[in-house]
Chains A and B, each alone.
Chain A
Amino acid sequence: MVPFLIRRVGLMLLTALCLTFIVFWLTNLPPNLEKLAKTQGTVRMTDAQTASWLETRGYARPLPVKYAEWLGLIPAWTYEDSYGNAAGRCIGDGIAPEDAPRRCGVLQGDWGQSSVFREPVSEIIGKRLWLTGKLMFWVLLVMVPSALLIGVLAGMREGSRLDRTLSTFSIATTATPEYVSGVILIAVFASSAVGLKWFNGTATGAMEDATFANFTLPVATIALFGMGYVARMTRAAMAEVMTAQYIRTARLKGLSFGAIVWKHALRNALIAPFTVIMLQIPWLLNGVVIVETLFNYKGFGWTLVQAASNNDVSLLLGCSVVAVVVVLLTQLISDVGYVLLNPRIRIA
């Protein structure tokens, strides 16, 4: 088990390294840097001014060097202008040039400064990830049990009226994009159009204090969309298990239908959906952006969009590291859980 975990963590680091390098390269392409300079400086900068802006801020140097600096492998750049004002990667607000460390990169725990929010990247990501994490937690709590329940109920008697009803429902929810279902939900439950006004149409308040009223609609919107997919997978797995010979064995042992489903079919039917559920988590992390925008809930997805549209190099890099860690961590949990569910697989 331990060597397996070590290998997995190593793989995770390697993937993060590759992915951040690609993001680094893309964000450091000349047109992107020019755009950065013009948004941070003024739009009316001449080409020469742009070049000098990039020069004085350390952008106009070779890519591998900049990347190594970001990682914290080599000493950071410094610049001294003609007036003797020192600038540098590690020299920022409140840090005098003399006190600045030589290296300041990811390895030193410094994720850099966001150019959009003018805040350290680690603080922004920490705050936004917590907000999205809160949303995801409630979504998973609603989505997974109901999806499994729908899937199992539909799959245990394939072709029955219950199966057809539940299948239609899950196909319909998956086929409806979040921006449609979200708008419908707002119209029905939060506007004067129908007049129910049970919930709030915005979740801004939920960022501080999540309540039933302001958090139900965003959670429901994502849960509905994700649920159908998991439910379909569960249904297929369950239907297949129910035709297996060992289910016939159980039936001909004299077990009641409930006991067959509960004791014999369930564990075998959960193996396939488990992987799918774990794959849903990274999707939730990035895919919630529509719902976050719709309900004005400033989470991780919203941050990612802000970073991308403003070519905020440091923030984008931070976001991609988080994404890699989440994807590989959920895959690790999925593999370990797979072993626990399926006794035929053992970790060496």
Chain B
Amino acid sequence: MIDRNDDGPILEIENLSISFFTRRREIPAVMDFSAVIRPGEALGLVGESGCGKSTVALGIMQDLGVNGRVTGGAIRFKGRDLTAMDEAGLRRIRGSEIAMIYQEPMASLNPAMTVGRQLMEVPMIHEGISRRAARARALDVIGDVRLPDPGRILDAYPHQLSGGQQQRIVIAMALMSKPALLILDEPTTALDVTVEAAVVDLVRGLGEKYGTSMLFISHNLGLVMEVCDRLCVMYSGEAVERGSIGDVFDEMRHPYTQALFRSIPLPGADKNTRPLKAIPGNFPLPHERPPGCNFGPRCDYFRPRRCDAGDIPMMTVPGNDRHGSRCLRFGEIDWNAPLPRAETQASAEIGAPVLQVEALKKYYEVAANALFGGHRRVVKANETLSFTAHEGETLAIVGESGCGKSTFAKVLMGLETATGGSILLDGAAIERLPIEKRGTDLVSSVQMVFQNPFDTLNPSMSIGRQISRALEVFRVGKTEAGRRARMLELLDLVKLPREFATRMPRQLSGGQKQRVGIARAFAGGARIVVADEPVSALDVSVQAAVTDLLMEIQRQNRTTLLFISHDLSIVRYLSDRVLVMYLGHVVEIGTTDQVFAPPYHPYTEALLSAVPIADTNVTKRHIVLEGDVPSAMNPPPGCPFQTRCRWKPQVPGDLCETELPPMRELGGGHQVKCHLAEDMLAQMEPVITLAAE
């Protein structure tokens, strides 16, 4: 428990350096890192993958594996140096005084042990309490993390719970011994936005209730703003800026922080008039860091012989509360200078309809149990899906996992065939043509960019060969030389150097791999490209560049882009029209402006509220959806959203529970599938409001 009279910090990290030792060399992962967390304070640690933020967390836990070692500095927890502590002492602290919450809840729970036993274990080893007392405590804590029916949950195995419930169990496990410090390592990355919002809400509430200090690790600036009091930005193993949320967000004093904010789509950004600004270049590898400032080679304010002269210490920014920056020039840079206007693009003209989807249905029959058979059940993955997509248009399909957006993509690609309804591509029906029966033209005109660029490239084939192979399949070019020339053109198109043709996928970064994926998709002059979460596996600074590339190629080729995503910020930034899906139904469709402004469908409203926005000028109404998405095997009767809808009481009678709402036209092509009366819809207030600047 926290000693309330003790004013000293809970955690004090001083000039911490951590290295991993391989056979060939020492790889410094964290260098000269300092941070202080006071009682009840939440510190956010932000940075891209590979910047060392998780290493800091594992360093605090002293769990660096066989190769990792603290090479300098100290980690003092309540005044005791953890780096000098023996195994037994560390065991007493782990789990009881410092607890950790992990990124993937499913993987963090033992699959062969009931949730109850995993929870009860914690106080039983640390406080030696009886099984019965531990169970009582577990029931209590499960109530605290707002899980229904605690008794049943305790006897369940992890796989019987949903992702959101699993993460609540991991949180409950961390709270079992009332720790003084909670380390959260990307706790919501694997979760859907509405679940993420509920978990974040819970974490914040529990932090206040128990007075726990928190170290919150995330790559999402918006989340950090919602949870934390203070913030530390890391880049390539170093803390580059730290301070209170207000100071860092509004008076940033490091070029990397500024570049990071400019590369994320905040409200107000627009692909044509205010495009995102990607950070040029690549993240340096740990053993290839430049001399001096690590960010130097990618920095707009870089001065040779000054920024690369020697190590740069953290310097205090005068006037602010413990605000520091690791930039030599922070006093000279005009931080309020407006972003140099990038050339504005004329918005692409929307052409004739290319794709018409009419009442499309896709049902799956599944056996209840894969290994032993059992009753067959029907999963209604897509239910009466209707929309039109035009040439040169970006249509975003938005929804949480299990809403049927990927099923639709599969049917469109021909990986599955439709159960009912029709898909017309340029007037020809394709909904019942499986991919093996599609002609070359059709296959090359409907292409896909996949979510995970790491798994979609053949690891043993060179980049050039993979693109040429796509050209061969699409029968582009008559000779090998012709195809090779076209392949090099495609590399130019996706802005990869031509030398990359001979490289292997493992030599490329995530963003570069995704560019290869894009080149492949556009190789045969695609009419429609389905981009399934094309940037969600990439780092923030790379996302902007890949998104812009996709937009640019689309503009040139007048391709119809179906952009599948759950990230509403990026959807708002790049799409012309938005289609919101829930449990296989289209619940709202309209232009981006129509969907992002009231009147909303109640589900869209909740989705918008759930998206964390990294802007202190934005005020957001707080709507938390309780419960999980119902199973598509057993959807609720009537309106699919009725089980979680906060507007349901406003609809007279039991209309929502008995009848599927019709698709209603609200004017200008804006359609909503909802029973709410006109006047109720008109009363809706905007979820996001931008304070006047």
Interface residues of A (CB under 8 A from B): 4, 159, 244-246, 248-256, 259, 263-264, 267-268, 341-348
In the bound assembly, the distance between CA atoms of A4 and B374 in angstroms comes to: 9
Q: Which single residue of chain B is at the shortest CB-CB distance from A271? A: B112
Within 90-127 of B, Cβ neighbours of A (below 8 Å) are at 91-96, 99-100, 102, 104, 107-113, 121-122, 125-126
A251–B368 CB distance below 8 A:
no
- Residue in contact with B121 in the complex, picked from A245, A255, A342, A348, CB distance below 8 Å: A255
Residues from chain A with Cβ under 8 Å of B122 in the complex: 253-254
Partner of A252, one of B100, B368, B374: B100
Given A245-B104, A268-B110, A344-B111, A252 and B125 contact (CB-CB distance below 8 Å): no
**A255-B122 Cα distance, complex, nearest whole Å:** 8
- Inter-chain contact B112/A254, CB cutoff 8 Å: no
CB distance from B155 to the nearest CB of A (A): 11
User: Which A residues are CB-close (under 8 A) to B66?
Assistant: 159
A250 to B108, CA, bound (A): 9
Interface string of B360-374 (1 = CB under 8 A from A): 000000001101111
A38 to B115 Cα, complex, angstroms: 71
Residues in B neighbouring A244, C-beta threshold 8 A: 107
Known: A251-B94, A253-B125, A254-B92. A348 touches B368 (CB 8 A): yes
Asked whether B113 lies within 8 Å of A264 as measured between CB atoms, the reply is: yes
Residues on B with C-beta less than 8 A from A253 are 94-95, 99, 121-122, 125, 173
Query: Which residues of the other chain, B, contact A256 by a CB distance below 8 angstroms?
Result: 91
Residue B305 interfacial (CB < 8 Å)? no
Number of B interface residues in the complex (CB < 8 A): 35
Chain B: residues with CB nearer than 8 A to chain A?
61, 63, 66, 91-96, 99-100, 102, 104, 107-113, 121-122, 125-126, 157, 159, 170, 173, 368-369, 371-375
- Name the residue among B93, B109, B113, B170 with the largest chain A CB count within 10 angstroms: B113
| Sampled A-B contacts (10; CB under 8 Å) | A159-B66, A249-B102, A249-B109, A251-B94, A254-B91, A255-B95, A267-B112, A341-B112, A342-B111, A342-B112
- How many Cβ-Cβ contacts under 8 Å join chain A to chain B? 85
* Bound CA–CA A237/B112 (angstroms): 14
The 10 closest A-B pairs by CB, nearest first: A348-B374, A254-B95, A253-B95, A245-B107, A254-B94, A348-B369, A246-B110, A343-B157, A267-B112, A254-B91
Query: Which residues does chain A contribute within 8 Å of B157, judged by CB atoms?
Result: 343-344
Inter-chain contacts of A255 with B (CB < 8 A): 91, 95, 121, 125
* Residues of chain B with a CB closer than 8 A to A346's CB: 369, 372
Q: How far, in angstroms, from A142 to B564 measured CA to CA in the complex? A: 58
Establish whether residues B61 and A252, one from each chain, have CB atoms under 8 Å apart when the complex forms.
yes
Q: Are A246 and B108 in contact (CB under 8 A)?
A: yes
In the assembled complex, the CB of B392 is this many whole angstroms from the nearest CB of chain A, namely 45
Q: How far is the CB of B673 from chain A (nearest CB, A)?
A: 36
Minimal Cβ-Cβ distance residue in A for B156: A343
A248 to B96, CA, bound (A): 15
Chain A residues within an 8 Å CB radius of B111 = 246, 268, 342-344
Determine the chain B residues whose CB is within 8 A of the CB of A268 once the complex forms.
110-112
**In the bound complex, do residue B102 and residue A347 qualify as a contact, i.e. CB atoms below 8 Å apart?**
no
The answer for the CA separation of A256 and B113 in the assembled complex, in Å, is 17
Residues of chain B with a CB closer than 8 A to A267's CB? 112-113
- In Å, the complex CA distance between A343 and B368 comes to 16
Which residues of the partner chain A approach B109 to less than 8 Å between Cβ atoms? 246, 249
CB distance from A238 to the nearest CB of B (A): 14
For A343, the chain B residues whose CB sits under 8 A away are 111-112, 157, 159
A246 to B126 CA separation, bound complex (whole angstroms): 19
> Are B125 and A254 closer than 8 Å at their CB atoms?
yes
Q: B110: which A residues are within 8 A, CB to CB?
A: 246, 249-250, 264, 268
A264 to B372, CA, bound (A): 27
Contact B107 A251 (CB under 8 A): no
Closest to B126 in A: A254
User: Shortest distance in angstroms between B169's beta carbon and chain A's nearest beta carbon?
Assistant: 11
Is B95 in contact with A252, judged by CB distance below 8 angstroms? yes
Contact B93 A254 (CB under 8 A): yes
Contacts of B108 in A (CB 8 A): 245-246, 248-249
Residue of B nearest to A7 (CB): B373
The reply to whether B159 and A254 form a contact with Cβ atoms under 8 Å apart is no
17 further contact pairs, Cβ within 8 A, besides A244-B107, A254-B94: A245-B107, A246-B109, A248-B63, A249-B108, A255-B125, A264-B110, A267-B113, A268-B110, A342-B111, A343-B111, A343-B157, A343-B159, A344-B159, A346-B372, A347-B369, A347-B371, A348-B368
Q: Which residues of A contact B63 (CB under 8 A)?
A: 248, 251-252
Known contacts A253-B125, A254-B96, A346-B369; is-contact A246 B375 (Cβ 8 Å): no
Complex Cα spacing A264 to B122, Å: 13
Shortest Cβ distance from residue A248 to the other chain B in the assembled complex, whole angstroms: 7
CB distance from B353 to the nearest CB of A (A): 46
State the CA gap A204–B173 with chains docked (Å).
60
- Tell me whether B125 and A348 are in contact (CB under 8 A): no
Bound Cα distance from A289 to B53, whole angstroms: 60
| Chain A residue with the shortest CB-CB distance to B374 | A348
| Chain B residues positioned under 8 Å from A4 (CB to CB) | 372-373
A43 to B195, CA, bound (A): 85
**What's the Cα separation between A267 and B111 when bound, in Å?**
10
Q: For B159, what are the chain A residues with a Cβ–Cβ distance below 8 Å? A: 343-344
Q: How far is the CB of B173 from chain A (nearest CB, A)?
A: 7
Contact A348 B372 (CB under 8 A): yes
| Chain B residue at minimum C-beta to C-beta distance from A265 | B110
Closest residue of A by beta carbon distance from B183? A252
> Could you tell me the distance in whole angstroms from the C-beta of A20 to the nearest C-beta in chain B?
27
Smallest distance from the beta carbon of B622 to chain A beta carbons, Å? 31
Cα distance A144–B112 in the bound complex, in angstroms: 22
Which residues of chain B are near A263, meaning CB under 8 Å?
A: 113, 121
A345 to B108, CA, bound (A): 19
* A264 vs B63: C-alpha distance when bound (angstroms): 18
CB pair A259–B125 under 8 Å, yes or no, is yes
Q: Which of A248, A252, A267 has the most CB of B within 10 A?
A: A252
The smallest beta-carbon distance between B124 and chain A, in angstroms, is: 10
Question: Nearest CB to that of B112 among chain A residues?
Answer: A267
In the assembled complex, which residues on chain B have CB atoms less than 8 Å from the CB atom of A259? 125
- With A and B bound together, what is the CA distance between A244 and B106 in angstroms? 11
Min CB–CB distance A281 → chain B (angstroms): 21
A347 touches B372 (CB 8 A): yes
- Tell me, in angstroms, the Cα distance from A254 to B97 when the chains sit together: 10
A255 nearest in chain B by CB position: B125
Q: Which of A249, A264, A345 contacts B371, CB < 8 Å?
A: A345
Chain A residues with CB below 8 A from B95, complex form: 252-255
Shortest Cβ distance from residue A268 to the other chain B in the assembled complex, whole angstroms? 5
How distant is B98 from chain A, measured CB to nearest CB, in Å?
8
Q: Which residue of B lies closest to A157 (CB)?
A: B66
Residues of chain B lying within 8 A (CB to CB) of residue A344: 111, 157, 159
B372 neighbours in A (Cβ, 8 Å): 4, 346-348
Task: Report Cα–Cα, A252/B60, bound state, in Å.
Answer: 11
> A159, A245, A254, A348: which contacts B102 (Cβ < 8 A)?
A245
A242 to B281, CA, bound (A): 38
- Shortest CB distance A85–B (Å): 57
Q: Are B107 and A252 in contact (CB under 8 A)?
A: no
Indicate the member of A246, A256, A346 with the most B CB atoms within 10 Å. A246
Give the nearest-CB partner of A159 in chain B.
Answer: B66
Contacts of B61 in A (CB 8 A): 252
Chain B contacts of A348 at CB under 8 A? 368-369, 372-375
CA distance A250 to B112 in the complex (A): 13
Q: In the docked arrangement, what's the CA distance between A20 and B394, Å? A: 65
Shortest A289–chain B CB gap in Å is 34
Residues in B whose Cβ lies below 8 Å from that of A254: 91-96, 122, 125-126
| In the complex, chain A residues whose CB is within 8 Å of the CB of B100 | 249, 252
When chains A and B are docked, how far (Å) is the Cα of A4 from the Cα of B63? 46
> In whole Å, how far is B558's beta carbon from the nearest beta carbon of chain A?
46
- Chain B residue with Cβ nearest A266: B112
Min CB gap A89→B, angstroms: 41
**Within the assembled complex, what's the spacing in Å between the Cα atoms of A244 and B112?**
13
Q: With A268-B112, A344-B111, A344-B159 in contact, is A252–B94 under 8 Å at CB? A: yes
Question: Smallest CB–CB gap between B366 and chain A, Å?
Answer: 12
